[in-house]
Structures are given as structure tokens and as C-alpha cells.
Amino acid sequence: MSNQHKPPTISFRSSDAERKQIEARILASGMMKKDYFVRSCIYNRISVVGKKETIYPLVQTVNALYLQLLEMQKAFVGYYQNQNPDNLPTSNEITELQTNYNNMLSAIIELLEGAKYLWAGEHHETK
């Protein structure tokens, strides 16, 4: 049993009022807490105002993913030039990079959709 790894835990702090609201929503949903939190985090729309502090970490993450992709490209080009299979990325590395790209791009698209919604609302109100 001690050799088994548990998945990482996600936790956060909330005020008493926020906790009571969350608990009420969980009760009303009829779901287990874990399922409610996972679905809330993945599927709820969050509107984020684009500012330097918000955008810069996204740019850094996308850049890091891009650099990983370039390294894999170099490995494939090197393989075709030198026929050296030792430098090729593993299937797991490719799958992990693909998952990271999909997750990050989905998050960015959702943030942009939220920003578009906010911008449209603000733009409409100023007319």
C-alpha cells in the first residue's frame, strides 16, 4: 500500500458564506463533492479580464509547449537525416505534449470566449 501513489489534491480557501453557498449547490446537485468540484472547474464559464498579470503566464506556458514541440521536430528531422532512432520522442512524451497542448488551448479559448462576452456587454452598454 505504501508504494501506491494517490492523485494530487486540489484545495482552496473560502469564506464561511462562500462555503455555505457551495455546500448548498452541492446538495442541490445531488452529486458527490468530488464530482461537483471537478465538473464545476472544467465546465463552468469563467470570465477573466485580460491584463498583464493574467496574460503573461499563459504566454510563458504556450511558449514552453512550443519549445517542446520544436525539440520533437528536431528529433524527427534528425531521425530522417541520420536514421538514429535513439533520439526520437517516446509515444508517452508525444501523448503528454498533445494533452498539454489540448488543455492549454482549451483554457485559452474559454478565456477568450469569456473576454469576448464581457467586451460585447461593455461595448453594448456604451452605445
Q: Give tens-digit pLDDT for 63-90.
A: 888 888 888 888 887 777 777 677 778 8
Report pLDDT for 48. Answer: 58
| Spatial distance between the Cα atoms of 98 and 120, rounded to a whole number of angstroms | 32
| Spatial distance between the Cα atoms of 35 and 21, rounded to a whole number of angstroms | 17
| Spatial distance between the Cα atoms of 62 and 108, rounded to a whole number of angstroms | 10
Q: What is the largest CA-CA distance in the chain?
A: 64
Report pLDDT for 124. Answer: 47
Residues of the chain with pLDDT under 50: 123-127
Report pLDDT for 15. Answer: 92
Report pLDDT for 79. Answer: 72
Report pLDDT for 126. Answer: 44
Report pLDDT for 25. Answer: 83
